[in-house]
Structure 1
Amino acid sequence: MRIELTDDPAAFRTRDWSDVVAADPAGTLFHTPAYLKLWWEEFGSGSLLLAAVLDGDRTMGACGFEIVQGQLRFLGGFDVTDYMGPVARAGLEASVADQLMSALADERWTGADLRGLPVESRWFSAVDAAARARGWEVRQEEDGIAPMIELPGVAEAYLQGLPAKLRHEIRRKARRLAEESGGYRVRWSTPQTVAADLDRFVELHQSSPGPKGRFMHAGMEIFFRRLGEAFLPLHLFHLAFIEVDGRDAAGAIAFGFKDTLSLYNSAFDREFGRLAPGMVLVADLIRGAIESGRTRFDLLKGDLEYKYRFGATPRPIGRLLLSRH
């Protein structure tokens, strides 16, 4: 195998590694060239570096990096991309990691902050070992927790598998919302409604107090709109609302990729806060994920208490800090 490095953003298209993401058990939407190209165009601030590991003309592995003020990072930043790092065809993680670290030895960086690697994945240990093999100092740290739900094949089995207290709470919240509001429905954005629906989602987000409300600044709003434009037609981006009496009481954005539905972002109308429409919406998303044949519901990074009310288990995400002398 050989490796090609380029700083040309055209390689997001010309060296499309989407099939490698699909083949990698750890590959997610965040690893796709389409997502990373969009992120780079909106938030990239350093020097771009795209790596492809090839066997002949066939791409066997790939990874996006940026170098910011001498620091090497996986492409995707620290705010909106939950999983980052290399992808490879199954079983090639160690070989691809070795190729990547070998090629990076010749690049201009003094330290590396490599985040977004699930500790359980082969990549965390493969990148660690490949860096140490070059004599670099490696320090492992935690990059947060991404709670995960393993889904059964039937929605009722999911509920029955929960502790009784959690099961009753989910049912009680849905019943209370229905009774006190006169009924509710879940609606999904379509290509025809997504622009207006994102208007409402942004409004709900910006009305939130504290950091959550400040998160949806103008640049972030553009990023979210571009995600919808790019991925909703491909059935990868899903925007859902709980509608109460003709009003959107809560909204959620989820990514559907391979066998996993991932809860990316959510917001709710404070006027309906006591009825917990956001919690009811998440429960409905889980039910829908099961009915569509998904096997996992990923609540992504953020070790928040509400996520465990749905039966999630903590999934540590790792961070590798590299230094070379």
Structure 2
Amino acid sequence: MNEFDNPHFALPPVASGLGPFPHGPYLGTLWKHTASDQDELWIVGDDRGVVPFTVHGQVIRLVGDADLVDYRSPLGEGTADLITNAVSSCPPGMRIIADSLPRVAADVVAKGLESAGLRMSVGEHTVAAVLQLPDDFEDYLAMIGKKERHETRRKRRRYEAALGEVRFVHTPADGRLFDEFVALHRLSPGDKGSFMTKEMEAYFRELLSLEGWGIDALVDERDRMVAGGFAFENDDGYFLYNSAFDPVHSDVSPGVVLIAGLIELAIDRGARVFDFLKGDESYKFRLGAEPRQLYVVTAKT
């Protein structure tokens, strides 16, 4: 049993619509594959709630790199008091940083720090992009307006003329799709192409073994992946964690066809929300998403 198997991690987060990110299975996998030898795990919790911190030198953070964890939230109703009691025992000179927090979660963390007598600040961190889904894909196309609807359909027709019908397959048991996804990811230009190191590959591979995670692959007529979305699904919705496409086919807009297809899949599966997660790329908002502001709370003991 690892530290994240603790039943306290089954408590509900204080903020809603966060997918896998505040919960034990995800956090345990993240910690296993990304923590450094200098990181000390500090889980503050009891029956009232739980907050997972990591201590690195003079800095206390919530577990995990902000580039990998899209949402954070304390779990359970008593977490403000837990935070107060925990940080009150910290030596002077420690910096506390809690990022990627929805407003409700930021307020709880801030209350806990303030009750401990610390001077703290709450600032804007970044945004996520969240799309509320209708019941039908045609209703979605009507929702995004004439220009985007026309472009979505035009690029799909061009794709189909070159590569055949738009067709998706879900993660097979043999893992072939994962290997193809990793290979395509490494073909990406710039930082994205160098992101998928051997360590990241192992992290993503283990995520795929957890409940709710999967790859939806856009495939050609020979079942080869043209583009793929690595996502988590639960009752909250469809959370698109990562994606990749084959640059060989960039002239037929596989990324655009992929995203539109994933939105259609999510609607067909009954999702009420398609969450693009962190990032303010303009295409997300052209496709109907709304910004969800995330906050960072900082303090010093």
Into which bin does the TM-score normalised by the smaller protein fall? over 0.9
- Return closer, same or farther for 1:315/1:29 CA change in 2, 3 Å cut-off: same
Shift of residue 23, structure 1, vs aligned partner = 8.6
Preserved contact between residue 18 and residue 72 of structure 2 (Cα < 8 Å):
no
Query: Bigger CA drift: 164-173 or 208-217?
Result: 164-173
SS at match of 2:89: coil
Query: Bigger CA drift: 308-317 or 21-30?
Result: 21-30
Deviations 1:90-132 (A, max 9, x none): xx3xx4223222222213560111111023xx11112112212
Q: Does 1:115 align with 2:80?
A: no
1:17-32 aligned within 5 A: 17-21=8-12, 25-32=16-23
SS at match of 2:177: helix
What is the aligned partner in structure 1 of residue 46 from structure 2? 53
C-alpha distance in 2 between matches for 1:134 and 1:23: 20
What is the aligned partner in structure 1 of residue 82 from structure 2? 99
Deviations 1:114-164 (A, max 9, x none): 111023xx1111211221232212122332211110112222222211121
Of the candidates 138, 157, 160, which is equivalent to residue 120 of structure 2? Answer: 138
C-alpha distance in 1 between matches for 2:270 and 2:143: 18
SS at match of 1:29: coil
C-alpha distance in 1 between matches for 2:90 and 2:7: 23
Aligned residues: 297
Shift of residue 272, structure 1, vs aligned partner = 0.6
Preserved contact between residue 65 and residue 73 of structure 1 (Cα < 8 Å):
yes
Q: Percent identity?
A: 31
Preserved contact between residue 19 and residue 233 of structure 2 (Cα < 8 Å):
no
Query: Bigger CA drift: 125-134 or 298-307?
Result: 125-134
Of the candidates 115, 122, 144, which is equivalent to residue 162 of structure 1? Answer: 144
Deviations 1:176-202 (A, max 9, x none): 211232333111112x232x2111111
TM-score (norm 1): 0.86
**Is there any run of 5+ residues in structure 1 with no aligned partner, and where?**
1-8, 55-59
Shift of residue 71, structure 1, vs aligned partner = 0.6
**Is there any run of 5+ residues in structure 2 with no aligned partner, and where?**
none
C-alpha distance in 1 between matches for 2:22 and 2:286: 29
Preserved contact between residue 44 and residue 82 of structure 2 (Cα < 8 Å):
no
SS at match of 2:111: helix
Shift of residue 306, structure 1, vs aligned partner = 2.2
Shift of residue 227, structure 1, vs aligned partner = 0.8
1:154-233 aligned within 5 A: 154-190=136-172, 192-194=173-175, 196-229=176-209, 231=210
- Return closer, same or farther for 1:117/1:248 CA change in 2, 3 Å cut-off: same
TM-score (norm 2): 0.92
Amino acid paired to 1:149: L
What is the aligned partner in structure 1 of residue 294 from structure 2? 317
C-alpha distance in 1 between matches for 2:96 and 2:73: 12
- Return closer, same or farther for 1:135/1:48 CA change in 2, 3 Å cut-off: same
Deviations 1:43-96 (A, max 9, x none): 123110112232xxxxx32121101112111012222111123122xxx3xx42
C-alpha distance in 2 between matches for 1:212 and 1:263: 16
Preserved contact between residue 83 and residue 113 of structure 2 (Cα < 8 Å):
no
C-alpha distance in 2 between matches for 1:306 and 1:38: 30
Q: Does 1:83 align with 2:63?
A: no
C-alpha distance in 1 between matches for 2:257 and 2:12: 32
- Return closer, same or farther for 1:22/1:103 CA change in 2, 3 Å cut-off: closer
Over aligned residues, Cα RMSD in angstroms?
Answer: 1.9
